[in-house]
Structure 1
Amino acid sequence: MRLLLRHMREPKRRGEEERRLMQEDVDNFLTPAKIERLKAEHERLVKIERPEAAAEVRRTAEMGDLSENAGYQIAKGLLRRINNRILWIEARLATAIPIAKGSSNGTVQVGSTVVIETNGRTCTFEIVGSQETNPATGRISHRSPIGLALLGARANENVTIKLADRDVVYHIISVL
């Protein structure tokens, strides 16, 4: 038995510092559409899902011994997840920085749509916050290597991104 205990990992809880660092990594730039989706999800959770989950907790609590009541434990877990999601959404909405589309002064900034050319190919990117990125649809984070290189640039300028094995030059065709 002693051998088994020596090889088992001790569970670690996240400390306050670790949690704070994880939260700082998320920026608060959100498009108006994302803000509306979060508001709709918040309303659905508060008005529909949380009351249903609370009713399920009450119903399963009436079944008797709570320590061995799997249905009760599952219902409580669901209610906790819903409450945590509500708190997360409220925190995001409270600190959200709305991205004004097309408000650039000719320079690339968060919210800009940029048309670039590289190696004879034309690509269109929308610069968004890190919570809304989807490179497959052309939505890139302002924190990504391409996003960082494009920020502050203007139409008809070239920006260079240094990769491990080569440099890639992007020519900015337009900034919307």
Structure 2
Amino acid sequence: MSKAFTKETDGDDDEELGLPALPSGARNYITPAGYARLRAELFTLMDDERPKVVEIVHWAASNGDRSENGDYLYGKKRLREIDRRIRFLTQRLEIAEVVDPVVHHGSDQVFFGATVTYAEDSGTERTITILGIDEADSLKGQVSWVSPIARTLLKSREGDELKLLTPAGVIDIQVLQVSYPTAPGATV
């Protein structure tokens, strides 16, 4: 068959963004704040950004030759990016299960939404917060609940000694402190 009849893509047309992997049969846990952020981003894209880009593309298309029209070409590319992100956010919000970590406030056991301080056998102390895969930010000390450290810590209690499997080998860790956010307006 001639190459003239095969479809070539530039790699970003309809290629779906890979969803972060969830364990088989697991739910997509997310905090109320994380859900609200994703929802706000979705509505901003649909109500503000997309209409503005559509208007620019429409204006650029009316100027004639589209093959060398930078506004048209960039606008179409940006439109594909926005549509791809809208599809991603819609899919993630549809399967999200909102879990409020406030319900565990005062508990010393590690559940979703906990902020945990632990010590490695080397003496290094680390503090992490266990969140959903769509909201965790490692630069802020947040980890996904499906990460190795979170899976090791889940259901443990303050004082527990655990073994964490890392690429460098097994590390002994001890849970020092477990905390949860308080309900808005609650007194401690």
- TM-score w.r.t. the length of structure 1 is 0.75
Quote the Cα distance in structure 2 between the aligned partners of 1:102 and 1:63: 56
1:175 paired with 2:171, answer: no
Deviates more, 1:44-53 or 1:134-143: 134-143
| CA displacement at 1:132 relative to structure 2 | 2.8
What number of residue pairs does the alignment pair up? 163
Take 2:167 and 2:69, find their aligned partners in 1: how far apart are those partners?
A: 56
Identity %: 30
Indicate the SS of the match to 2:119. strand
- Give, as a single letter, the amino acid of the residue that structure 2 aligns with 1:41: E
Secondary structure of the structure 1 residue equivalent to 2:134: helix
Deviation at 1:12, TM superposition (A): 10
Task: State the shift of 1:107 in Å.
Answer: 2.9
Go from structure 1 to structure 2 and tell me whether the alpha carbon gap of 1:11 and 1:136 turns closer, same or farther (over 3 Å shift): same
Alignment of 1:112 with 2:119, yes or no, is: no
Structure 1: distance between partners of 2:64 and 2:35: 43
User: How far 1:60 moved relative to its partner?
Assistant: 0.9
Separation in structure 2 between the aligned mates of residue 44 and residue 24 of structure 1, nearest angstrom: 22
Per residue, is there more helix in 1 or in 2? 1
Kindly provide the CA deviation profile for residues 123-158 of structure 1, in whole angstroms up to 9, marking residues without a partner as x: 322111233333343212222221121112122211
Uncovered stretches (5+) of structure 2, i.e. residues with no partner: 1-7, 180-188
Deviation at 1:159, TM superposition (A): 0.5
Residue pair 1:102, 1:112 contacting (<8 A) in 2 also: no
Task: Give the CA RMSD over aligned residues.
Answer: 3.1
| In the alignment, structure 1 residue 145 sits paired with structure 2 residue 148 | yes
**AA at the equivalent of 2:160:** E
Q: Counterpart of 1:5?
A: none
Give 5+ residue unaligned stretches, structure 1.
Answer: 1-9, 14-18
Q: 1:23 aligns with which of 19, 22, 34?
A: 19
Aligned residues of 1:161 and 1:168 also touching (Cα < 8 A): yes
Give the secondary-structure state (helix, strand or coil) at the position aligned to 1:174: strand
SS of equivalent to 2:42: helix
